[in-house]
Amino acid sequence: MEFTNVTASALANIYFDGKVISHAITTASGEKKTLGVILPGSYHFGTEAAERMDIVGGRCTVILDDSEETLNVESGSHFDVPANSGFTIKVEDEACHYVCSFLS
Amino acid sequence: MEFTNVTASALANIYFDGKVISHAITTASGEKKTLGVILPGSYHFGTEAAERMDIVGGRCTVILDDSEETLNVESGSHFDVPANSGFTIKVEDEACHYVCSFLS
C-alpha cells in the first residue's frame, strides 16, 4: 500500500522505547495519517480525535477501552477507535504495520 | 524537515530486530529516499547504490568501510557512503533520525 502526493515528515514518532514507531504524512486533501510499525508486545494508546487503524502487514489483537471484546485484526482489515478513548493492542510473532487515520 | 508531493510506502523496513526502522518515499522527480530512525546501538549496513545520509534528529558516529576515521555526525549534517561499500553507525543515548537518499 502506498500514498501518493503526500507530505512526509522526516522525524519519526517513537513510543514505548522504540517498540512502536511511525512517520506522519499529510495527504493532498489535508488528511493526517501516520504510517507505523508495532513490534511484538502489548501497548495501550489513548486517543484525542477518533482514529481508523488499518492493518497493512502482520496482525494484532485489540481491546477497545470500555469493551471486553477482543478483536482479531488481520492485514487488510481495520478497526475504529472513538475520540477521547483508547485501545490496547497486542502483537505476537512478527511486526504489525499500520496506517492510522485521524478522523476530524 | 518534511518532503512534499511524495509517494510514501505504508510498509516499514525493519532491521536488527526493530532497532532500525524506516519508511520509503519517492519524490515527484523519482528520487528514492528512506525516512528512518536508529535506536541506541551499533549497526553495520552494506550499500549497493551510493547513499547520502542526512541526520535530522539526534546524532551518531560513523566509520565508513575501508576507513579508520570516526565521523561525528550531528543533526543537520550528513555523510556520504560509496556504492558497493558500507558503514558502521553507532547511536548512544537518544534515537537518531535520518533521511537516506539513494544516489543513482
Calculate what percentage of chain A has a pLDDT beyond 90: 99
- 44-73 of B, contacting A, C-beta below 8 A: 56-57
pLDDT tens for residues A77-88?
999 999 999 999
pLDDT tens for residues A9-26?
999 999 999 999 999 999
The three grid cell numbers given for residue B73, joined into one nine-digit string: 555526525
d(CA B97, CA B88): 16
The pLDDT of residue A70 is above 90: yes
The three grid cell numbers given for residue A98, joined into one nine-digit string: 499500520
**pLDDT in the model for residue A104:** 74
Report how far Cα B88 is from the mean position of its chain's Cα atoms.
11
pLDDT tens for residues B37-91?
999 999 999 999 999 999 999 999 999 999 999 999 999 999 999 999 999 999 9
Among A4, A13, A96, smallest CA distance to A56 is for: A96
Tell me which chain B residue has its CA closest to the CA of residue A20. Answer: B18
Residue type, B48: E
Mention every residue, 6+ apart, whose C-beta is less than 8 A from residue B42.
B88, B89, B90, B91
Residue type, A14: I
Residue ranges of domains in chain A, CATH in brackets: 7-103 (2.60.120.10)
- Given B3, B10, B25, which is nearest A1 (Cβ)? B10
pLDDT tens for residues A86-99?
999 999 999 999 99
The pLDDT of residue A101 is above 90: yes
Residues in chain A with CB shorter than 8 Å from the CB of B10 are 1-3, 35, 56-57, 97, 99
User: Quick one: pLDDT band at residue A46, thresholds 50, 70, 90?
Assistant: very high
**pLDDT in the model for residue B4:** 98
**pLDDT in the model for residue A84:** 97
Chosen from A23, A27, A101 to mutate, greatest number of chain B CBs within 10 A = A23
d(CA B50, CA B64): 12
The pLDDT of residue B104 is above 90: no
Q: What is the 3-state secondary structure (H, E, C) of chain A?
A: CEEEEEEEECCCEEEHHHCEEEEEEECCCCCEEEEEEECCEEEEEECCCEEEEEEEECEEEEEECCCCCCEEEECCCEEEECCCCEEEEEECCCCEEEEEEEEC
